[in-house]
Structure 1
Amino acid sequence: MATRNKILVPEAKEALNRFKMEAATEVGTPLTNGYNGDLTSRQNGSVGGQMVKKIIENYENTIK
């Protein structure tokens, strides 16, 4: 059975999409709005990894 991600804060959806596109640009992944099934798992994973890296850096900068 497939599970679906539930959007808890619908107002944040556009900001998260912009964040994802920014991270994709930084790692050189040709991410587009819409279908991205032609990208490899490595490419998609690098986008998520970059997003996590930036979130952690932001948090570390706020607690100093």
Structure 2
Amino acid sequence: MPGEFAWIITLLDPETGNVHSTNYSERRYGSQDEASAAGKAAVVKFLGSDGKNVMSVPKEAKPKP
């Protein structure tokens, strides 16, 4: 349906696999691409350029069951 796209982002704690936070857009976008770009921008804004909210995950890390 046109104009009914939104983004939802769930960040996981890499050590436990538990949900760290879930964020979603209240705004609806006209296309999937527009919603995707807005979601990516929201992740960058949430994590911030200062690195305070960044959780580092080693490339070889695997989720714990």
Relative to the length of structure 1, the TM-score reads: 0.33
Structure of higher CA gyration radius: 2
> Which is bigger in relative contact order (C-alpha 8 A, separation at least 6)?
2
Q: Which has the higher strand share?
A: 2
- Structure 2 length-normalised TM: 0.33
